[in-house]
Chains A and B, each alone.
Chain A
């Protein structure tokens, strides 16, 4: 089962993708790789890059500040600014 990824900032939806296979997040305690079935977690973000991979492409988004919530194979990332 693929991951659902949603990244929004205060201006718009940056990413909304339901076919993500792998996602890497610059969490407060170090870079965190998420695969389907990961344990639920909440964390603030450090400055860095969110990387995510779908079947046929790989993308990156720069982040400064925000937090991430993961549950039910859904990653919600809320960015400031």
Chain B
């Protein structure tokens, strides 16, 4: 017969857990709202920037810009990987790790030739444990003060690409489609590639024309920053949404477990009562 006291203790502990997961769900919900708002504010800017860069890449004839340099032999590849700082958010990070390791394995390069630039504690821990070379580790993926993470990241990746430390650069992060749908996605950033054949070969006039290289570099540098920024924001919103779902599930499971335990507690109690009555009746009968 299960011990009444031990079941009662179990119920108490599951109840506590349920309370915690419930609170975490609430917190994640509030944070998600905020994150969504910030993300939605920034998204049109990022989208327009992307379009503009797309136009420029397809139109421009300035092929001597370092960002367009397609290397003949791809020796080193860089990956920017954006994860969350904290756990308890369901399969959010695991999905990103899986996508990233799949892509890295497909390239058939040694670990030494893979350069990782990581935002988010969880990612840093995971890839360190698996022996990858981490060139940059921001230790946080949350945009706190004036986008310092994206600043640092964009600077170091552009430098590494121009100096030839990496021949290609990809960014892997979780894209946010809806509170219940986030998917990891990999996007190539460097070198810039034409998406269509030159239909419109008309070149741009760049002003001020005395230093057009500088103008382009500044625009492209800003673009990398904006791309990283929007992904950081999306990742943050996705993390909160994922955590909310995970905590919702946990709360529901705890409820189910409590019901089950209560049932077995009542059963055990009933058995004990019946046994006691039997004892009494037997005792009374014996006295007759």
Q: Which A residues form the contact surface with B (CB < 8 A)?
A: 6, 8-13, 27-29, 39-44, 67, 69, 71-72, 74, 76, 78
Q: A76-B48, A78-B49 are in contact. Are A27 and B207 (CB under 8 A)?
A: yes
Which residue of the partner chain, among A13, A71, A74, contacts B44 with CB atoms under 8 Å? A13
**By CB atoms of chain B within 10 A, which of A28, A67, A69 has the most?**
A69
Question: Which chain B positions have C-beta within 8 A of A69?
Answer: 52, 55-56
A-B contact pairs, 15 of them (CB 8 A): A29-B208, A40-B59, A42-B204, A42-B207, A42-B216, A42-B219, A43-B207, A43-B208, A44-B208, A44-B218, A69-B52, A69-B56, A76-B55, A78-B45, A78-B52
Do the beta carbons of B48 and A8 come within 8 Å of each other?
Answer: yes
Chain B interface category by residue count: 20 to 34
- Chain B window 216-244, contacts with chain A (Cβ cutoff 8 Å), 1 for yes, 0 for no: 10110000000000000000000000000
Do the beta carbons of A71 and B207 come within 8 Å of each other?
Answer: no
B41 CB–A CB distance under 8 Å: yes
Do the beta carbons of A71 and B59 come within 8 Å of each other?
Answer: yes
Do the beta carbons of A28 and B208 come within 8 Å of each other?
Answer: yes
Q: Which B residues form the contact surface with A (CB < 8 A)?
A: 41-42, 44-45, 48-49, 51-52, 55-56, 59, 200, 202-208, 215-216, 218-219
Question: Which chain B positions have C-beta within 8 A of A72?
Answer: 55, 200
Which residue of the partner chain, among A10, A29, A42, contacts B42 with CB atoms under 8 Å? A10
CB distance from A48 to the nearest CB of B (A): 15
Cα distance, A72 to B215, chains bound together (Å) = 21
**By CB atoms of chain A within 10 A, which of B42, B48, B206 has the most?**
B48
- 3 closest Cβ pairs, A-B complex: A43-B207, A41-B205, A69-B52
Cα distance, A11 to B38, chains bound together (Å) = 8
Q: A28-B208, A72-B55 are in contact. Are A42 and B44 (CB under 8 A)?
A: no
Question: Which chain B positions have C-beta within 8 A of A43?
Answer: 206-208, 215
Which residue of the partner chain, among B42, B45, B205, contacts A39 with CB atoms under 8 Å? B205
Question: Which chain A positions have C-beta within 8 A of B204?
Answer: 40-42, 71
CB distance from B203 to the nearest CB of A (A): 7
Cα distance, A78 to B48, chains bound together (Å) = 8
Do the beta carbons of B51 and A76 come within 8 Å of each other?
Answer: yes
Which residue of the partner chain, among A10, A13, A27, A71, contacts B55 with CB atoms under 8 Å? A71
Cα distance, A34 to B116, chains bound together (Å) = 44
Cα distance, A29 to B216, chains bound together (Å) = 16
Question: Which chain B positions have C-beta within 8 A of A29?
Answer: 207-208
Cα distance, A44 to B212, chains bound together (Å) = 11
Which residue of the partner chain, among A11, A42, A78, contacts B41 with CB atoms under 8 Å? A11
Do the beta carbons of A8 and B44 come within 8 Å of each other?
Answer: yes
Do the beta carbons of A71 and B200 come within 8 Å of each other?
Answer: yes
Do the beta carbons of B41 and A12 come within 8 Å of each other?
Answer: yes
Question: Which chain B positions have C-beta within 8 A of A6?
Answer: 48
Q: A71-B55, A72-B55 are in contact. Are A40 and B203 (CB under 8 A)?
A: yes
Cα distance, A74 to B59, chains bound together (Å) = 13
CB distance from A69 to the nearest CB of B (A): 5
Q: A69-B56, A71-B55, A71-B59 are in contact. Are A9 and B45 (CB under 8 A)?
A: yes
Cα distance, A76 to B56, chains bound together (Å) = 12
Cα distance, A51 to B216, chains bound together (Å) = 25
